[in-house]
Structure 1
Amino acid sequence: MSKYTVTDPSTGETAATFATHSDDEVRARIVRADAAYRKWGRSSPVAERSALLGRVAQLCRDRRQDLAAIVVREVGKPITSALGEVDICADIFQYYSEKAAEFLADEQLELRETPGRAIVRRDPIGTVLGIMPWNYPYYQVARFAAPNLLLGNTILLKHASQCPASAAEIARLFADAGYPEGAYEALYATSAQIEDVIADPRVQGVSVTGSEAAGSAVARVAGQHLKKVVLELGGSDPFVVLSTEDLDATVEYALWARFYENAGQVCCGAKRFILADEVYEPFLEKFLAALKELRPSDPAKPDTLLGPVSSAGAAQTLADQLKRAVEGGARVALGGERQGAFVEPTVLVDIDPGNEAAREEFFGPFAHIYRVSSEEEAIAVANDTPFGLGAYVFSADEEQALRVAGQIDAGMVSVNTFGGEGPEVPFGGIKRSGFGRELGRFGVDEFANRKLIRTRA
């Protein structure tokens, strides 16, 4: 039987293994989730569901040190970043707890001519499946689970195979908070088993955060069975700098947007830096100077900004991408070396539009630098990608920044800032970055039955 394995990327050592569930166990968990939906999800008071989410938020805060230590070992995330991830999860659960009554209140519709009354009521749809990645083992689950449990949907959660320990801790959070059996079920399942889960008539929808290939495969199966799908996939986000009144601050934003969070393994991290002529040289000089001082180190140390990537295999993938990029004419301005899963910050310049590197997502501490001569060229380069998740626009002229933001093909654009995410704002992309939205009011609506109820005058 195959296993889920925790391999510490810092050392390459196996820390723990978890057995994959048998077909019978997977089916039993679907049965429990469906039963919990019928007994609890459809009939529990909103106030009860709100209170449960509030208890999960408090447990996240109470257990933050232990939870963070798990993901340091599983995926090599620096401890300060791991603690921040747990804190964000607590905020998400608290947010939906506090917004429960508002988000689930009946919505009165204004009828034009027909007599009577019409409301839209947000009901649960049943059991939904979440397929979650390794790069944010808690946060990705929280933004899927919180709005669905608020609705009364029950959850089957298939986590990444390298995150079995964090998956177990998340399940324990919900159980200890007082959720009934079946409300949240963790699946240690194979891809073949997950196809059967999606096909099961008791499963009403699927949410995937992961690679483009994974999202496409799941969407294909879900489409065959007419299941609702939300996809949050890869990104190659542009970071456009047209002008700036504070170059040091803009460079610092750029470093955080690419290197200082999770070794650059962030779907919505800045990956392509598009610099106007007037800022190109000074920006690049400061950017490279800062990166020369940044060395990957032990993620368990509190002062570590850059840990290893998630595995030796992930590091090899980056090395292969780098080799192809250089063969295609790109030049390495900094870095390019690795040791095990520790990868140096790497900066590529002179990337031709026909270079394979211009079309790929580099999921690690890599930055691609482009030089442009006009606002129009900056927009064209920003949009010259199959992805459309997020973007960043910097300009000392706010009117210009907003104008450019409006012309970038992305689901999210940050203007003259970085780090504007929060439980209240929608998250999601367009093009090959997927579709659907998580968080805020939008996260509730994705898997809700927005039921119209009409009555006579």
Structure 2
Amino acid sequence: MIEVRNPGTGELLGEAESFTEERVASVVETAQAGQREMARLPAYERESLLRRVADLVDAESESLARLLAAENGKPILQTRGEVAAAVRIFRGYAGEATRLFGRQIPLDAVPGLERHLAVTMREPLGVVAAIVPFNYPVELYAHKAAAALAAGNAVVVQPPSRCPLAVLRVAELVAKAGAPQNAHQVVTGGVRVSQLLAELPGIAAVSLTGSTVAGRELARRGADTLKKVFLELGGNDALIVCADADLAQAARAVVLGRLARGNGQICCAVKRVYADRAVHGEFVAALLEETRNLTVGDQLLETTDVGPLISEEAAERVETAVRQLVSDGARLVTGGGRRGAFYDPVVLSDVPVSSAAFGEEIFGPVAPVASFTDPMEAVRLANASPYGLQAAVFTRDISRAFTIASKLDVGGVVINGSTALRAENLPFGGTKDTGGHREGVHDTALEFTRQKTVIVMEAFQ
């Protein structure tokens, strides 16, 4: 069994089964029958199923938010927002279940085929494995599971081993809503479970949100069975502060998009800040003023801004990275104290861009600020990262903003706002080592289908 504990207090919250290889293989085998049942459901029934799930989750939103906060460490105000997002996502994919359109392709574009008719139809891929990370487990589960079901697939979900309880409860609600037997199953465990989901031939596609290391490994293992692999991986998002920026607004964006959002454990959090040298000191002062107002503590209290990281080991890794940045020449402006899994938000100034730690993804409440002298230099520094999830630029010059946005090698650019922005109806994902996949209500269900072409010979006289 896997013990699930509150990362801040160590309190035992529950247990989950650690699936053996045989148990995982059995689930995947039974999911084949579940998939056939899902594929038989007409679109309006899939839509109705997903709406019932959304209503049941909505009815339990407060208890789910409290459970998620307790096991994950995010403050309760943020887990409420996450559960609300999951409800919207299920409702959004309910609508998409009725909008998986095919095409009519004019064959008169080819000489000799003028009398024939071609159409395409969308069919489900099969069984989709949804591997969910610890930082936003309920929301990201919804993106994967709801999309798979909307398209007529079965889904096998692997929730994060450190905080699976809220997802397990939602899975019970999916069954209560009337999902066909074995069409929606959950397997819990560690790395070996993920590997099996990538290896087993009964899985048609794997959707992973996780680290780049994990993504590469699962892609390699999935290659033997030629399954589709959808990857949304790491990020090291840059925020560029130009000399004409609203510095107070930019400072708030860093705090709300990094230090006080998900305890800094978000793939699209602001992880690097580049401030024009002319305003570097003034910006750091504004950032310090905003950071001083943050409250670190019990994630179940309404007044808490920053709770514990997912584990003490995670906090230790952040502590090590900050120590390395300071050793490389950065100046610690505030924060850095660690108490178990709690880590006080850090602001660092004058960070050397050559520091290896600055180029790596730090998964915690750390805001490192470097400087530049020309906006195109900032673009070059931002693009030097192997990751390309999102980026942001603060400037009052709209032409400069769009010029910088066009040159940043990332999946999304936010102008005068934080990189930590994900709306479920927008495509979300990145370039390079971030994986290349895009996830969103109007994209994912379609990607969880395959096209079949049907040609009617002599359809026209």
TM-score, normalised to structure 2, is 0.94
1:363-383 alpha-carbon deviations (Å, 9 max, x no partner): 000011011111111111111
Structure 1 residue 244 displacement after superposition: 4.6
1:378-418 alpha-carbon deviations (Å, 9 max, x no partner): 11111121111111112101111011011101111112234
1:107-166 alpha-carbon deviations (Å, 9 max, x no partner): 233442342333332210100111111111101101111111100111111111112312
Structure 1 residue 199 displacement after superposition: 2.2
* Distance (Å, rounded) in 2 between the aligned partners of 1:20 and 1:5: 10
Structure 1 residue 193 displacement after superposition: 4.0
* Distance (Å, rounded) in 2 between the aligned partners of 1:249 and 1:333: 19
Match of 1:23 in 2: 21
SS in 2 for 1:435: coil
Does 2:168 match 1:178? no
| Residue 54 of structure 2, aligned match among 57, 64, 82 | 57
Unaligned 5+ runs, structure 2: none
* Distance (Å, rounded) in 2 between the aligned partners of 1:318 and 1:245: 29
SS in 1 for 2:40: coil
* Distance (Å, rounded) in 2 between the aligned partners of 1:50 and 1:201: 28
* Distance (Å, rounded) in 1 between the aligned partners of 2:220 and 2:306: 36
SS in 1 for 2:391: strand
Structure 1 residue 243 displacement after superposition: 4.3
Conservation of the 8 A alpha-carbon contact between 2:121 and 2:451: yes
SS in 1 for 2:19: coil
Residue correspondence of structure 1 range 71-82 to structure 2 within 5 A: 71-82=68-79
The amino acid of 2:16's aligned partner reads: F
The amino acid of 2:146's aligned partner reads: A
Match of 2:387 in 1: 387
Tell me: CA distance 1:109–1:259, structure 2 relative to 1, closer, same or farther (3 Å). farther
Structure 1 residue 246 displacement after superposition: 3.6
Tell me: CA distance 1:243–1:323, structure 2 relative to 1, closer, same or farther (3 Å). closer
Residue correspondence of structure 1 range 314-353 to structure 2 within 5 A: 314-353=314-353
Conservation of the 8 A alpha-carbon contact between 1:6 and 1:15: yes
Identity over aligned residues, as a percent?
A: 34
Tell me: CA distance 1:30–1:409, structure 2 relative to 1, closer, same or farther (3 Å). same
After TM superposition, the structure 1 stretch with the greater mean CA deviation from structure 2, 353-362 or 187-196, is 187-196
The amino acid of 1:387's aligned partner reads: Y
* Distance (Å, rounded) in 2 between the aligned partners of 1:297 and 1:244: 36
SS in 2 for 1:441: coil
* Distance (Å, rounded) in 2 between the aligned partners of 1:441 and 1:453: 25
Conservation of the 8 A alpha-carbon contact between 1:132 and 1:208: yes
Does 2:110 match 1:109? no
Tell me: CA distance 1:431–1:294, structure 2 relative to 1, closer, same or farther (3 Å). same
TM-score, normalised to structure 1, is 0.95
SS in 1 for 2:98: helix
Conservation of the 8 A alpha-carbon contact between 2:57 and 2:170: no
The amino acid of 2:424's aligned partner reads: P
Does 2:18 match 1:8? no
Conservation of the 8 A alpha-carbon contact between 2:352 and 2:370: no
Structure 1 residue 267 displacement after superposition: 0.3
1:286-322 alpha-carbon deviations (Å, 9 max, x no partner): 1111112323111111121111111111111111222
1:313-335 alpha-carbon deviations (Å, 9 max, x no partner): 11111112222222223221221
* Distance (Å, rounded) in 1 between the aligned partners of 2:232 and 2:71: 22
* Distance (Å, rounded) in 2 between the aligned partners of 1:279 and 1:372: 10
Does 2:364 match 1:376? no
After TM superposition, the structure 1 stretch with the greater mean CA deviation from structure 2, 152-161 or 438-447, is 438-447
The amino acid of 2:307's aligned partner reads: G
* Distance (Å, rounded) in 2 between the aligned partners of 1:449 and 1:257: 37
Match of 2:43 in 1: 46
Match of 1:434 in 2: 435
Conservation of the 8 A alpha-carbon contact between 2:143 and 2:441: no
How many residues are treated as equivalent by the alignment? 453
After TM superposition, the structure 1 stretch with the greater mean CA deviation from structure 2, 149-158 or 245-254, is 245-254
